[in-house]
Structure 1
């Protein structure tokens, strides 16, 4: 399996949003959404955080907590704590290949969550 680009992008946005949670509470930024934070420390590019997108992604990630906790923990290490594959593998006492597989599986689980949510929305629109 390979990583899903649009999910990876959503997770990067979600990570920025979660980092703001500590300073702004409940995930919402204390500063204007027109201002921005750096995506990562290795680049100087500044990107705004899409808070609606991040909240939806947060719901998807939280859905992994029960039943797929290993995927949830992997995402926390990689995206929230900002440690790499090697350090995540060490912390989880897993092989690096397992961490990479967890990321792939998390992407697919999150993509399925979004598909399920779209299906629910579609069904609701037919019943009203």
Structure 2
């Protein structure tokens, strides 16, 4: 099963966010990026520094919720994501640990992408329905106040 690229990107960001969260207590580094860059430039004498990928906290938290939702009913997919993204095991090592073939791990990554995409779509749909209800109530209240 083919991977879904935007889910794959989200999972990569989620893994960075989780790593930072585990190391610093929050999803972001404990110092701002400019301070980190200045400190590194001062230590090495170099004026260039490898750029770091910005992590969107809300997106990472949402992805974390989606991954955690896999525990119920899709525990094997959750375990696969943890091994690949959080424990930084490759497909071969994850296959050995889970006692599956590498092709099965690839298939499970594709299945996990699909489950996460559905979870995110469902969440977005619920959010849109809630927003529509609120707008409907606001419209009704304005109409009532206007005497209509």
Task: After TM superposition, list the pairs within 5 Å mapping 1:43-82 onto structure 2.
Answer: 46-82=52-88
**Structure 1 residue aligned with 2:43:** none
TM-score (norm 1): 0.86
- Within the alignment, does 1:120 sit opposite 2:120 as a pair? no
Q: Distance in 1 between matches of 2:30 and 2:74?
A: 32
Counterpart contact for 2:28–2:55, Cα < 8 Å:
no
Q: How many residues align?
A: 121
* Stretch deviating more after TM superposition (101-110 or 20-29): 20-29
- For structure 2, the 5+ residue unaligned runs are 38-49, 135-148
Q: Distance in 2 between matches of 1:84 and 1:99?
A: 10
Counterpart contact for 2:20–2:27, Cα < 8 Å:
yes
> Does the residue aligned with 1:87 lie in a helix, a strand or coil?
helix
Post-superposition, which runs of at least 4 consecutive aligned residues in structure 1 deviate over 3 A? 26-29, 33-36
- For structure 1, the 5+ residue unaligned runs are 37-43
Aligned pair partner of 2:116 in 93, 106, 110: 110
> Does the residue aligned with 1:47 lie in a helix, a strand or coil?
coil
> Does the residue aligned with 1:46 lie in a helix, a strand or coil?
coil
TM-score (norm 2): 0.75
Q: What CA RMSD, in Å, does the superposition of the two structures yield over aligned residues?
A: 1.8
**Structure 2 residue aligned with 1:25:** 25
Answer 1 or 2: which has greater helix percent. Answer: 2
Deviations for 1:34-56, whole angstroms, at most 9, x for unmatched residues?
669xxxxxxx6531222221111
